[in-house]
Structure 1
Amino acid sequence: MTMIIRRVMISLVFCLWALSAAVGQHAAANKQERKLNTAAIEQMLGMKGQENEGEYKITVPQHDLNVEVDGFKIIPPMGLGSWAAFSPAPKGAILMGDIVVKENEIGPVQQVIINNGLTLTGLHNHFVRDRPGVMFMHIAGNGSEEHLAKGVKAVLDKVTELRGGDPGKATAQQVQNSLDVQRLTAILGQSGEMNSGIYKVTIGRPDVKLQEHGQQVSTFMGFNTWASWQGSPERAAVAGDFAMLEDEVAPVIKALVENGIEVVAVHNHMVHEEPRIFFLHYWGVGPAEKLATGLKAALDQTGKAQEGH
């Protein structure tokens, strides 16, 4: 009887080992199948992008828009760029993106989004008192890389048609920046990068495992908090976005407002995300250290495990 039991146990162990090996091989095959066809995306869009850990993003800076807010010139690194990011999925890819449009472009661009099988998931502003007024249109989609890239291409082409030229090919501009970025880094606890006179700090949310349609959404796909700075220590401007869990919304708004930073928009970027994520745009003008201190107070109301990228 003991021998029979021993044989049965050996058989069960072998079966479990075989099942584990099969599952591992299946997972590996699925992972290989989910690799993005970036060549197809590039060919369809006619432009090259940036690849990061299996994801892919194209960016179109809006150099053609001469936007001003409270005497500060808003250039692409200050939050004036269209982008589309692709992430692998079991049946192709998922798409997330943000398209910059002037107010008279909203209707025509929306029509192109719908006609190409994409989804409009958000429409909002980044600024107030901006001249001319600009809006930001979030898009999403699921399907093959070719299908999604074709839709993005149609949207970008429509913007080019309405503007009478490709925004990304207009002359790039710079702004003056004499800020003490080391002091800002010390206050915020985060470092950034300088681009065309804009000092930008991008902060991830590694404490939140976000999914859209069951797929992981990364910082690269637009899930982050960020701040862009320009000006002087005496009079600086800061603009940016907070990514917040639902219980963080009220404390973040309170901290910003109490520190003299305007909340200019509260909105969503996604519609099927888990957990729910809210995004908040803010704008502040004043002494740089005062703004940084206020921004840090708001950051402290969000996940404690944030990290810079």
Structure 2
Amino acid sequence: MRKILMSGLATLFLAAPAWAAPDWAGVDAALGRAGVEQAGGVHRYGFPRSDLRVVLDGVSIKPTLGLGSWAAFQPMGDEVMVMGDLVLTHEEVNPVMSRLLQGGFTITALHNHLLRSAPSTMYMHIAGHGEPVKLATALRQALAASHTPMAPPPSSAGSGAPPPLDLNTATLDQLMGAKGKVNGGVLQYSIPRAERLMDGGMVTPPSLGTATAINFQPTGGGKAAITGDFVLIASEVDPVLRALRAGGIEVTALHNHMLNDEPRLFFMHFWANDDAAKLARGLRSALDKMNNQRS
């Protein structure tokens, strides 16, 4: 009897169809660019707002400092969970929102990240779940209601090493306690939290926007403009806010990005333009009050 049962189970498992991977080629085609594969099989797509000329306190903001729309597709069998953040002008918000809603997306947050910028920009956080090409097509149609450049960004392959950044990156790495990466003329840090983060019952890795992001854009003479967001649990909000203000760093926004996150996360955005090393020390003081992964 036991042999018959085991044989039946083996037949059942052999007959069951294996989960197919998402149609990444179809997603790439729908979005007009190749995704960058991240840990866990996540495919992340960037849509830099290179069309915008945003100035804040005399600093012309590079797309990689604070104007980068993105969407990340996390595999769930042959379906995906999508999370993202779209950079929009005021006039673009509702046309894009309407198309996203028609396409099956949920809007999880809408808010500012910066203050005093001209033109002002809003940041629309989105979520979706389902067939990947259908979601990618809906996202493309929504972005078409904005002036987001949809041509694939130029490839950097064969262009040689990027020009050196006008910052002492080794010193900043040491002060920050992390290794930065130069991207589009900006030094970027991504610092994951130590906990397992969930949204709607699914693990949300750092590539879905759950890591603290800190960006330095050189502004000359050893100075840098900084922006990004700290990813915090409730008990960390006040200590981190106080540390940033003590370091001469403005807090520009505090809000949610997701709706069903566990633990509940708060995102604190910031801005300053000052001596880069001084700012790094202020940022590190805030990071030390958080439960982050240690390198």
TM-score over 0.5 (shorter chain) = yes
Asked whether 1:274 is paired with 2:257, we answer: no
Q: Does 1:106 align with 2:74?
A: no
State how far apart, in whole Å, the 2-side matches of 1:294 and 1:273 are: 28
CA contact (8 A) 1:67 1:131 kept: yes
Partner of 1:137: 124
Deviation (angstroms), 1:178: 2.0
Aligned twin of 1:39:
25
Tell me if the contact between 2:47 and 2:150 (Cα under 8 Å) persists in the aligned partners: no
Decide whether the 8 Å contact of 2:225 with 2:271 is kept in 1.
yes
Q: 1:65 to 1:121 in 2, by over 3 A?
A: same
Q: SS state of the match for residue 289, structure 1?
A: helix
Structure 2: distance between partners of 1:91 and 1:275: 27
CA distance in 1, matches of 2:168, 2:203: 36
Counterpart for residue 79 of structure 1:
66
**Conserved? CA contact 1:64–1:168, under 8 Å:** no
Are the aligned partners of 1:64 and 1:167 in contact in 2 as well (CA < 8 Å)? no
After superposition, residues 204-215 of structure 1 pair within 5 angstroms as 204-205=192-193, 207-215=194-202
Equivalent residues in 2 for 1:45-194, closer than 5 Å:
45-52=31-38, 53-90=40-77, 92-160=79-147, 166=150, 177-194=165-182
What residue number does 1:7 align with?
Answer: none
Describe the shift of the 1:61–1:304 C-alpha distance in structure 2 as closer, same or farther (beyond 3 A).
closer
Q: CA deviation at 1:166?
A: 4.1
1:40 Cα offset (Å): 2.3
Matched-pair contact (CA < 8 Å) for 2:192–2:292:
no
Matching residue within 240, 253, 264 for 2:241: 253
Question: What CA distance in whole angstroms lies between the structure 1 residues aligned with 2:203 and 2:121?
Answer: 30
1:285 alignment partner in structure 2: 273
- In 2: Cα distance, 1:187 partner to 1:145 partner: 41
| Counterpart Cα distance in 2 of 1:33 and 1:167 | 32
Deviation at 1:291, TM superposition (A): 0.7
CA–CA distance in structure 1, aligned partners of residues 79 and 182 of structure 2: 35
Q: Report the AA paired with residue 198 of structure 2.
A: Q
Deviation at 1:306, TM superposition (A): 3.9
Structure 2 Cα separation of the partners of residues 94 and 305 of structure 1: 24
Deviates more, 1:195-204 or 1:295-304: 195-204
Residue number among 185, 198, 208 corresponding to 1:197 in the alignment: 185
Structure 2 residue matching 1:150: 3-state secondary structure:
helix
Shift in alpha-carbon separation, 1:167–1:291, aligned structure 2, 3 A: farther
On the 8 A contact 1:68/1:131 being kept in 2, the answer is: yes
- Long gaps (5+) in structure 2: 157-161
Unmatched runs of 5 consecutive residues or more in structure 1:
1-10
Aligned to 1:220: 207
Residues of 2 paired with 1:147 and 1:46: CA distance?
Answer: 14
Shift, 1:233, TM fit: 5.2
The residue that corresponds to 1:265 in the other structure is: 253
Aligned residues: 282
1:113 Cα offset (Å): 1.4
Alpha-carbon offset, residue 69 of structure 1: 1.0
Q: Which has the higher helix share?
A: 1
Q: Quote the offset at 1:167 in angstroms.
A: 7.6
Structure (1 or 2) with the larger CA radius of gyration: 1
Please state whether the residue corresponding to 2:146 is helix, strand or coil. helix
Give the CA deviation at 1:79: 2.0
Deviates further, 266-275 or 292-301: 266-275
Q: Which amino acid aligns with 1:119?
A: T
Change (3 A) 1:222 1:103: same
Letter aligned with residue 37 of structure 1? D
Mark the CA change 1:286 to 1:175 in structure 2 (over 3 Å): closer, same or farther: farther
1:188 positional shift: 0.6
RMSD (Å) for aligned C-alpha atoms: 2.8
* Cα distance in 2 between the residues matched to 1:272 and 1:34: 27
